[in-house]
Chains A and B, each alone.
Chain A
Amino acid sequence: VTDDASLEDLLRTLAPQVLGALVRRWGQFGACEDAVQEALLAAAMQWPKEGQPDSPARWLIAVATRRLTDQMRSEAARRRREDMFAATPDANLVAPAADEARAGAHDDTLTLLFLCCHPALSAPSQIALTLRAVGGLTTAEIAHAFMVPEATMAKRVSRAKQLIRDSGGQFTMPPPAERDERLRAVLQVLYLIFNEGYTAAAGAELARSDLSSEAIRLTRLLHRLLPGDGEVTGLLALMLLTEARLAARARPDGSLIPLADQDRSLWNRELIEEGVGLVTGALASTRLGPYQIQAAIAAVHDEAERVEDTDWPQILALFQLLETISPSPMVTLSRAVAVAMVHGPAAGLDLIGQLEADERLARHHRLHAVRAHFLELAGDRDGAKVAYRTAASYATNIPERRYLEARAAERG
């Protein structure tokens, strides 16, 4: 091992394979997960000093198995002391065969993802468990990234395991009838992780922006496992096409730059090319879904050399499609932006007027920000100023709030 980064990459790639091999053999997802974390930690401490073993996976499985069996022995001893139960049979204390990490390692990773995004868990617990069990991050790293105390994150992880056990979650693939819905939950968790990192990337929160790279890494992994799934491909494309704008989306002081004002020469062409290729392929060959459409919209933006080259009629058509297959007030609000760009601000304001009756949106900063923008386009400076102020008062995201306050002040 030459440097810390490549060691960390290796360990995090091996983490779900090692965990999969253990759970497959022993069951007891929760205990195996703890044992794998300890083995990863031991490797991170020992390998730089003592050299990397010939088979890192085998080493990790052996160490994790030893931790697990130690724990089983001490629990068995405790049970013997407490109520004279028989100890764990010796056969259960034997390490798995050396080549076991290879067999089914990929399927194991997929099964792990499904288990970590179990429907019995809340979104924060699904996220925490996915990052630990599949991503190989430590509890401290996850806690730091989400800005909560480490003790809180440890509780989330152990509670998530408990809930999985209580609800009978098994280390098996969900039955085919449930698979689509379970996969949707996995995609949502990965997208939440991505957004948490991407939207925080403006500031000095490097640990948080790492979350978007981690989400992309895990989604790439999922894409390799399910190359024929259009929505997995769509989500990966959406992440890449969004990540491509990372360098242009904020000033050095962390203040936000809206899409229209971004320096497009800073966009990452390689990511755009990859994202466009992925979404084009998925749209042509798989069942249509909301991530593919959102990726297609991101692709249209990314392919415009200048903001005035943006193909708004195509974006409008895509939003109409998205609203048909996955209707929500937020999608309608996004469509309103495209409507205003194609048919003028009055048409956009009309559509927004209908949305204001929706309670969920009436108190959402984005509705007022969009209305402010339309009023501005229509030449109503005073109205725009008031709407920007209203938007700022409903925003809870600090960079967004500062941006909206600045827009209001500029219109003074």
Chain B
Amino acid sequence: MSEEQTTEQDEELFAPSDPQAAATVTSLREQFGDDLEQVSEHRGEVTIVVRPESIIRICRALREDTQQYDFLADITAVDWREREPRFDVVYHLLSLETRAVLRLKVRVGDEEETTSDPELPTVTAIWPAANFFEREIFDLFGIRFSGHPNMTRILMPSDWVGYPLRKDYPLTGIHLPDPHWGGQVPLQQALPMGTGQQTLRTSDRIQEAPQAGGPGSWSEKKQR
């Protein structure tokens, strides 16, 4: 993942060492010359950084044309926090025919990412397997995939606020006195980014504890 170690070179000159990957890169360059931002290779793994506008066309070409990348192994995302396009969305492709693997990266989130979620077109029409991957990325990173059939949370509770895998999300939330278990509290308005749902609590939860043997305990003494 660290981009410093890649053998990134001038993209017109650089060709991957693997002949299959080199053929892929050559054919992509012929079709989408300017849409490829960077081609790099690290430890024999080829990574192509593409523009967000062309991700659909490139994926469709990779799936349907000569390369036959018919297996979407994974989609994930990286939060680079201080970088200007803040997020990387990473697609891992595999060709079952030729055993070739390829990694695509898209950089998104260049506008004020604290108030609006970055958006990217979905690839579910090309690989149906992208459905759950994209929902997971939306759930944990807050990157929306436009055109997705069901863009809802998949891991966190449906009324959770915030995106836990962003770097500015508090890992444990703010410490609050007991009783507090981090349940889902309905919210009237959205919270600022970085405020976990677990940090919320309603003030009416603290009540007097029932006495031992009093009402509510199983050893409650009944009047005869």
The reply to whether chain A is a binding partner of chain B is no
